[in-house]
Structure 1
Amino acid sequence: MADDVTIDGSTIRTARVRLRPWREDDAPAALEIYGSAEVARWLAPAMEQVADVDAMRAMISSWLAAPPGPAGRATGRWAVEEIESGRVAGSAQILPLPPEGEDLEVGYQLAPWAWGRGLGSEAGHALAHYAFANGEEEVFAVVRPRNERGIHAARRIGMDWVGETEKYYGLRLQVYRLRNSDLDVPLLDPSPLEH
Protein backbone atom coordinates (compact mmCIF):
# COMPACT_ATOMS: atom_id res chain seq x y z
CA MET A 1 0.00 0.00 0.00
CA ALA A 2 2.93 2.41 0.56
CA ASP A 3 3.38 3.29 -3.11
CA ASP A 4 -0.30 4.16 -3.36
CA VAL A 5 -0.17 7.10 -0.91
CA THR A 6 0.46 10.61 -2.23
CA ILE A 7 0.46 13.65 0.07
CA ASP A 8 -0.04 17.07 -1.51
CA GLY A 9 -0.41 19.68 1.23
CA SER A 10 -3.58 18.79 3.12
CA THR A 11 -4.85 16.38 0.44
CA ILE A 12 -3.94 12.70 0.68
CA ARG A 13 -4.61 10.31 -2.19
CA THR A 14 -4.53 6.53 -2.42
CA ALA A 15 -5.53 4.18 -5.24
CA ARG A 16 -9.24 4.44 -4.39
CA VAL A 17 -9.79 7.40 -2.05
CA ARG A 18 -8.93 11.07 -1.80
CA LEU A 19 -8.83 12.65 1.66
CA ARG A 20 -9.44 16.36 1.33
CA PRO A 21 -10.51 19.18 3.64
CA TRP A 22 -14.22 19.38 4.44
CA ARG A 23 -16.42 22.02 2.79
CA GLU A 24 -19.74 23.31 4.11
CA ASP A 25 -21.49 22.04 0.97
CA ASP A 26 -20.46 18.50 2.02
CA ALA A 27 -23.17 18.59 4.72
CA PRO A 28 -25.70 16.30 2.93
CA ALA A 29 -23.03 13.66 2.27
CA ALA A 30 -21.62 14.01 5.80
CA LEU A 31 -25.12 13.45 7.18
CA GLU A 32 -25.12 10.02 5.47
CA ILE A 33 -22.25 9.21 7.84
CA TYR A 34 -22.93 11.06 11.08
CA GLY A 35 -26.72 10.93 10.76
CA SER A 36 -26.65 7.14 10.55
CA ALA A 37 -27.60 5.38 13.77
CA GLU A 38 -25.41 2.47 12.66
CA VAL A 39 -22.35 4.75 12.62
CA ALA A 40 -23.25 6.94 15.61
CA ARG A 41 -23.64 3.98 17.96
CA TRP A 42 -19.86 3.50 17.89
CA LEU A 43 -19.07 7.21 18.35
CA ALA A 44 -21.17 8.14 21.41
CA PRO A 45 -20.47 9.69 23.89
CA ALA A 46 -17.61 11.46 22.06
CA MET A 47 -20.07 12.40 19.33
CA GLU A 48 -23.83 11.96 19.10
CA GLN A 49 -25.89 11.19 16.00
CA VAL A 50 -26.41 14.34 13.92
CA ALA A 51 -30.11 15.17 13.50
CA ASP A 52 -30.32 17.03 10.18
CA VAL A 53 -28.39 18.74 7.40
CA ASP A 54 -28.41 22.14 9.16
CA ALA A 55 -26.82 20.61 12.27
CA MET A 56 -24.29 18.82 10.05
CA ARG A 57 -23.43 22.06 8.24
CA ALA A 58 -22.93 23.80 11.60
CA MET A 59 -20.64 20.99 12.75
CA ILE A 60 -18.53 21.21 9.59
CA SER A 61 -18.34 25.00 10.06
CA SER A 62 -17.04 24.47 13.60
CA TRP A 63 -14.44 22.01 12.29
CA LEU A 64 -13.28 24.56 9.73
CA ALA A 65 -13.15 27.42 12.25
CA ALA A 66 -11.12 25.71 14.98
CA PRO A 67 -7.83 23.89 14.59
CA PRO A 68 -8.26 20.19 15.46
CA GLY A 69 -5.22 19.98 17.71
CA PRO A 70 -2.08 21.65 19.01
CA ALA A 71 0.04 23.60 16.55
CA GLY A 72 2.92 21.60 15.17
CA ARG A 73 1.10 18.26 15.44
CA ALA A 74 -0.13 16.29 12.44
CA THR A 75 -3.82 16.70 13.20
CA GLY A 76 -6.73 17.33 10.90
CA ARG A 77 -10.16 16.33 9.59
CA TRP A 78 -10.80 15.15 6.06
CA ALA A 79 -13.69 14.15 3.84
CA VAL A 80 -13.00 10.76 2.25
CA GLU A 81 -14.00 10.80 -1.42
CA GLU A 82 -14.24 7.61 -3.40
CA ILE A 83 -12.22 8.46 -6.51
CA GLU A 84 -14.22 6.28 -8.91
CA SER A 85 -17.63 7.78 -8.08
CA GLY A 86 -16.62 11.17 -6.64
CA ARG A 87 -18.96 10.56 -3.69
CA VAL A 88 -18.05 11.37 -0.10
CA ALA A 89 -17.77 7.88 1.34
CA GLY A 90 -16.53 8.78 4.79
CA SER A 91 -14.76 10.97 7.25
CA ALA A 92 -11.21 10.68 8.52
CA GLN A 93 -9.35 12.43 11.28
CA ILE A 94 -6.18 12.57 13.31
CA LEU A 95 -7.07 14.09 16.68
CA PRO A 96 -5.54 14.26 20.16
CA LEU A 97 -7.03 11.64 22.47
CA PRO A 98 -8.54 12.90 25.72
CA PRO A 99 -7.84 13.57 28.49
CA GLU A 100 -4.28 14.93 28.05
CA GLY A 101 -4.12 15.02 24.25
CA GLU A 102 -0.63 13.53 24.09
CA ASP A 103 -1.63 10.46 22.06
CA LEU A 104 -2.98 10.94 18.52
CA GLU A 105 -5.96 8.93 17.35
CA VAL A 106 -6.41 7.91 13.75
CA GLY A 107 -10.14 7.67 13.15
CA TYR A 108 -12.38 7.00 10.17
CA GLN A 109 -16.08 6.55 9.71
CA LEU A 110 -17.80 5.40 6.53
CA ALA A 111 -21.32 5.83 5.26
CA PRO A 112 -23.09 2.45 5.42
CA TRP A 113 -23.23 2.27 1.60
CA ALA A 114 -19.40 2.19 1.57
CA TRP A 115 -18.93 -0.59 4.14
CA GLY A 116 -17.22 -3.88 3.37
CA ARG A 117 -14.91 -2.62 0.64
CA GLY A 118 -11.74 -1.83 2.63
CA LEU A 119 -12.09 1.93 2.23
CA GLY A 120 -11.81 2.54 5.99
CA SER A 121 -8.49 0.75 6.30
CA GLU A 122 -7.25 2.45 3.14
CA ALA A 123 -8.14 5.86 4.61
CA GLY A 124 -6.57 4.93 7.97
CA HIS A 125 -3.40 3.78 6.23
CA ALA A 126 -3.23 7.10 4.37
CA LEU A 127 -3.64 8.99 7.66
CA ALA A 128 -0.75 7.05 9.17
CA HIS A 129 1.45 8.08 6.24
CA TYR A 130 0.39 11.69 6.74
CA ALA A 131 1.11 11.60 10.48
CA PHE A 132 4.53 10.01 10.04
CA ALA A 133 5.46 12.33 7.14
CA ASN A 134 4.71 15.20 9.54
CA GLY A 135 6.99 14.06 12.35
CA GLU A 136 4.79 11.80 14.49
CA GLU A 137 6.34 8.56 15.77
CA GLU A 138 3.16 6.64 16.62
CA VAL A 139 -0.61 6.80 16.22
CA PHE A 140 -3.44 4.98 17.95
CA ALA A 141 -6.90 3.67 17.16
CA VAL A 142 -9.39 3.11 19.96
CA VAL A 143 -12.25 0.74 19.22
CA ARG A 144 -15.21 -0.52 21.21
CA PRO A 145 -14.80 -4.25 21.90
CA ARG A 146 -17.79 -5.35 19.78
CA ASN A 147 -16.98 -3.09 16.81
CA GLU A 148 -15.66 -5.86 14.57
CA ARG A 149 -15.39 -3.58 11.52
CA GLY A 150 -13.22 -1.12 13.47
CA ILE A 151 -11.04 -3.88 14.87
CA HIS A 152 -10.55 -5.45 11.46
CA ALA A 153 -9.66 -2.09 9.86
CA ALA A 154 -7.06 -1.33 12.56
CA ARG A 155 -5.44 -4.72 11.99
CA ARG A 156 -5.44 -4.27 8.19
CA ILE A 157 -3.56 -0.98 8.60
CA GLY A 158 -0.89 -2.94 10.49
CA MET A 159 -1.74 -1.74 13.98
CA ASP A 160 -0.86 -3.91 16.95
CA TRP A 161 -3.31 -4.57 19.75
CA VAL A 162 -1.81 -3.18 22.96
CA GLY A 163 -4.63 -3.86 25.40
CA GLU A 164 -7.81 -2.46 26.87
CA THR A 165 -8.20 0.81 28.71
CA GLU A 166 -10.73 3.18 30.20
CA LYS A 167 -8.29 6.09 29.88
CA TYR A 168 -9.95 7.57 26.79
CA TYR A 169 -13.55 8.83 26.74
CA GLY A 170 -14.37 7.02 30.01
CA LEU A 171 -15.22 3.82 28.09
CA ARG A 172 -13.61 0.39 28.01
CA LEU A 173 -11.86 0.41 24.63
CA GLN A 174 -9.50 -1.79 22.66
CA VAL A 175 -6.29 0.12 21.89
CA TYR A 176 -4.28 -0.40 18.71
CA ARG A 177 -0.96 1.29 17.96
CA LEU A 178 1.12 1.79 14.85
CA ARG A 179 4.70 3.02 15.07
CA ASN A 180 6.44 4.76 12.22
CA SER A 181 8.97 1.92 11.96
CA ASP A 182 6.14 -0.62 11.52
CA LEU A 183 4.30 1.18 8.70
CA ASP A 184 3.94 -1.05 5.65
CA VAL A 185 5.61 -4.05 7.30
CA PRO A 186 3.76 -7.09 5.89
CA LEU A 187 1.46 -8.78 8.38
CA LEU A 188 2.05 -12.45 9.04
CA ASP A 189 -1.48 -13.01 10.37
CA PRO A 190 -3.88 -10.07 10.05
CA SER A 191 -6.59 -11.75 12.13
CA PRO A 192 -7.06 -10.42 15.67
CA LEU A 193 -5.88 -13.13 18.07
CA GLU A 194 -6.22 -11.17 21.27
CA HIS A 195 -9.95 -11.70 21.85
Structure 2
Amino acid sequence: MSAGPQQAKRPGRPRGASDTRERILANARELFARNGIDKTSIRAIAAAAGVDSALVHHYFGTKEQLFAAAINIPVDPMTILVPLRDTPIEELGLVLPTILLPLWDSEMGDALIATIRSLVAGSDVSLIRSFLQEVITAEIGPRVDNPPGSGRLRVQFVASQLVGVVMARYIIGLEPFASLPAEQVAATIGPTLQRYLTGELPALP
Protein backbone atom coordinates (compact mmCIF):
# COMPACT_ATOMS: atom_id res chain seq x y z
CA MET A 1 0.00 0.00 0.00
CA SER A 2 1.50 3.33 -1.04
CA ALA A 3 1.93 6.12 1.47
CA GLY A 4 -0.69 8.82 1.34
CA PRO A 5 0.00 12.50 0.75
CA GLN A 6 -0.54 13.26 4.43
CA GLN A 7 2.24 10.90 5.62
CA ALA A 8 3.99 12.45 8.63
CA LYS A 9 7.58 13.57 8.24
CA ARG A 10 10.21 11.82 10.27
CA PRO A 11 11.34 13.85 13.27
CA GLY A 12 14.97 14.77 13.70
CA ARG A 13 17.66 16.86 12.04
CA PRO A 14 16.69 18.49 8.72
CA ARG A 15 18.07 16.83 5.61
CA GLY A 16 21.40 18.25 4.62
CA ALA A 17 22.26 19.66 8.04
CA SER A 18 25.28 17.40 8.40
CA ASP A 19 26.50 18.28 4.89
CA THR A 20 26.07 21.98 5.63
CA ARG A 21 28.07 21.70 8.85
CA GLU A 22 30.89 19.86 7.09
CA ARG A 23 30.90 22.42 4.28
CA ILE A 24 31.27 25.23 6.82
CA LEU A 25 34.15 23.39 8.51
CA ALA A 26 35.93 22.71 5.22
CA ASN A 27 35.74 26.36 4.16
CA ALA A 28 36.74 27.56 7.63
CA ARG A 29 39.78 25.29 7.60
CA GLU A 30 40.84 26.56 4.17
CA LEU A 31 40.37 30.25 5.04
CA PHE A 32 42.05 29.96 8.44
CA ALA A 33 45.06 28.27 6.82
CA ARG A 34 45.25 30.82 4.00
CA ASN A 35 44.56 34.08 5.84
CA GLY A 36 45.06 33.36 9.54
CA ILE A 37 42.48 33.69 12.29
CA ASP A 38 42.47 37.47 12.67
CA LYS A 39 41.90 38.11 8.96
CA THR A 40 39.19 35.49 8.59
CA SER A 41 35.69 36.57 9.54
CA ILE A 42 32.60 34.50 10.23
CA ARG A 43 30.95 36.38 7.37
CA ALA A 44 33.70 35.33 4.93
CA ILE A 45 33.42 31.70 6.01
CA ALA A 46 29.64 31.82 5.64
CA ALA A 47 29.92 33.32 2.16
CA ALA A 48 32.41 30.67 1.07
CA ALA A 49 30.12 27.94 2.40
CA GLY A 50 27.04 29.50 0.82
CA VAL A 51 25.17 29.97 4.10
CA ASP A 52 24.09 32.81 6.37
CA SER A 53 26.45 34.00 9.11
CA ALA A 54 23.77 33.28 11.70
CA LEU A 55 23.87 29.60 10.75
CA VAL A 56 27.63 29.47 11.35
CA HIS A 57 27.11 30.97 14.82
CA HIS A 58 24.25 28.52 15.41
CA TYR A 59 26.42 25.50 14.69
CA PHE A 60 29.72 26.65 16.21
CA GLY A 61 29.30 29.75 18.40
CA THR A 62 32.32 32.07 18.40
CA LYS A 63 35.13 32.24 15.84
CA GLU A 64 37.48 30.64 18.37
CA GLN A 65 35.06 27.74 18.83
CA LEU A 66 34.75 27.38 15.06
CA PHE A 67 38.54 27.29 14.75
CA ALA A 68 38.70 24.57 17.41
CA ALA A 69 36.11 22.55 15.51
CA ALA A 70 37.86 23.14 12.17
CA ILE A 71 41.12 21.60 13.37
CA ASN A 72 39.36 19.09 15.62
CA ILE A 73 40.58 20.43 18.96
CA PRO A 74 38.27 18.83 21.56
CA VAL A 75 38.23 21.90 23.81
CA ASP A 76 37.32 25.56 23.42
CA PRO A 77 40.64 27.48 23.62
CA MET A 78 38.96 30.20 25.66
CA THR A 79 38.41 27.77 28.54
CA ILE A 80 42.19 27.90 28.93
CA LEU A 81 42.78 31.54 28.08
CA VAL A 82 40.00 33.15 30.13
CA PRO A 83 41.36 31.94 33.52
CA LEU A 84 44.75 33.38 32.59
CA ARG A 85 43.20 36.86 32.36
CA ASP A 86 42.72 36.88 36.13
CA THR A 87 46.16 35.46 36.85
CA PRO A 88 48.78 37.97 38.05
CA ILE A 89 51.61 38.38 35.56
CA GLU A 90 54.18 37.06 38.05
CA GLU A 91 52.24 33.76 38.34
CA LEU A 92 51.59 33.06 34.65
CA GLY A 93 54.65 30.84 34.26
CA LEU A 94 53.35 28.32 36.81
CA VAL A 95 49.62 28.64 36.15
CA LEU A 96 49.92 27.97 32.42
CA PRO A 97 51.41 24.45 32.69
CA THR A 98 49.26 23.78 35.76
CA ILE A 99 46.21 24.24 33.52
CA LEU A 100 47.58 22.55 30.42
CA LEU A 101 49.24 19.40 31.79
CA PRO A 102 46.16 17.89 33.48
CA LEU A 103 44.22 18.60 30.27
CA TRP A 104 46.88 16.89 28.15
CA ASP A 105 46.95 13.94 30.58
CA SER A 106 43.17 13.45 30.37
CA GLU A 107 41.14 11.41 27.88
CA MET A 108 40.31 14.67 26.14
CA GLY A 109 44.03 15.28 25.91
CA ASP A 110 44.48 12.05 23.96
CA ALA A 111 42.30 13.48 21.21
CA LEU A 112 44.13 16.80 21.40
CA ILE A 113 47.55 15.16 21.04
CA ALA A 114 46.26 13.09 18.13
CA THR A 115 45.12 16.30 16.45
CA ILE A 116 48.50 17.96 16.99
CA ARG A 117 50.29 14.89 15.65
CA SER A 118 48.06 14.92 12.56
CA LEU A 119 48.53 18.64 11.92
CA VAL A 120 52.30 18.48 12.30
CA ALA A 121 52.56 15.42 10.03
CA GLY A 122 50.23 16.92 7.42
CA SER A 123 50.07 20.19 5.56
CA ASP A 124 48.21 22.25 8.15
CA VAL A 125 51.16 23.54 10.18
CA SER A 126 49.99 27.05 9.27
CA LEU A 127 46.88 26.47 11.39
CA ILE A 128 48.98 25.78 14.50
CA ARG A 129 51.19 28.78 13.72
CA SER A 130 48.15 31.00 13.27
CA PHE A 131 46.66 29.81 16.56
CA LEU A 132 49.89 30.42 18.47
CA GLN A 133 50.52 33.83 16.94
CA GLU A 134 47.02 35.26 16.70
CA VAL A 135 45.21 33.77 19.68
CA ILE A 136 47.82 32.91 22.33
CA THR A 137 50.16 35.81 21.55
CA ALA A 138 47.30 38.29 21.25
CA GLU A 139 45.97 37.18 24.64
CA ILE A 140 49.20 37.12 26.65
CA GLY A 141 51.68 39.19 24.64
CA PRO A 142 50.42 42.67 25.58
CA ARG A 143 50.63 41.81 29.28
CA VAL A 144 54.32 40.92 29.11
CA ASP A 145 55.40 43.47 26.51
CA ASN A 146 58.28 44.90 28.55
CA PRO A 147 60.40 46.32 27.05
CA PRO A 148 57.94 47.34 24.31
CA GLY A 149 58.09 45.02 21.34
CA SER A 150 59.24 41.97 23.32
CA GLY A 151 55.83 40.47 24.14
CA ARG A 152 55.51 38.45 20.93
CA LEU A 153 58.97 36.94 21.31
CA ARG A 154 58.39 36.15 24.98
CA VAL A 155 55.25 34.19 24.18
CA GLN A 156 57.05 32.33 21.39
CA PHE A 157 59.76 31.24 23.82
CA VAL A 158 57.01 29.91 26.10
CA ALA A 159 55.38 28.14 23.16
CA SER A 160 58.69 26.51 22.24
CA GLN A 161 59.01 25.10 25.76
CA LEU A 162 55.44 23.79 25.84
CA VAL A 163 55.71 22.25 22.37
CA GLY A 164 58.85 20.50 23.60
CA VAL A 165 56.90 19.09 26.54
CA VAL A 166 54.20 17.79 24.19
CA MET A 167 56.77 16.14 21.95
CA ALA A 168 58.81 14.53 24.76
CA ARG A 169 55.94 13.53 27.04
CA TYR A 170 53.14 12.53 24.66
CA ILE A 171 54.48 11.92 21.17
CA ILE A 172 57.95 10.43 21.78
CA GLY A 173 57.08 9.08 25.25
CA LEU A 174 60.48 9.89 26.74
CA GLU A 175 60.79 8.08 30.09
CA PRO A 176 60.85 8.82 32.94
CA PHE A 177 59.70 12.32 31.89
CA ALA A 178 56.53 10.95 30.30
CA SER A 179 55.45 9.34 33.58
CA LEU A 180 56.18 12.20 35.96
CA PRO A 181 53.18 13.66 37.80
CA ALA A 182 51.76 16.72 36.04
CA GLU A 183 52.32 18.91 39.09
CA GLN A 184 56.02 17.97 39.17
CA VAL A 185 56.48 18.92 35.52
CA ALA A 186 54.58 22.18 36.03
CA ALA A 187 56.65 23.09 39.10
CA THR A 188 59.89 22.32 37.24
CA ILE A 189 59.23 24.24 34.02
CA GLY A 190 57.19 27.02 35.64
CA PRO A 191 60.19 29.18 36.65
CA THR A 192 61.63 28.88 33.14
CA LEU A 193 58.35 29.93 31.57
CA GLN A 194 58.14 32.83 34.00
CA ARG A 195 61.64 33.96 33.06
CA TYR A 196 60.63 33.92 29.42
CA LEU A 197 57.57 36.02 30.22
CA THR A 198 58.94 38.60 32.65
CA GLY A 199 62.69 38.08 33.01
CA GLU A 200 65.44 39.98 31.30
CA LEU A 201 66.00 38.91 27.69
CA PRO A 202 69.48 38.85 26.15
CA ALA A 203 70.08 41.91 24.02
CA LEU A 204 69.25 41.28 20.39
CA PRO A 205 71.82 42.26 17.74
- TM-score normalised to structure 2 length: 0.28
Q: Which has the higher contact order (CA 8 A, sep 6+)?
A: 2
Larger-Rg structure: 2
- Which is richer in helix? 2
- Which is richer in strand? 1
- TM-score normalised to structure 1 length: 0.29
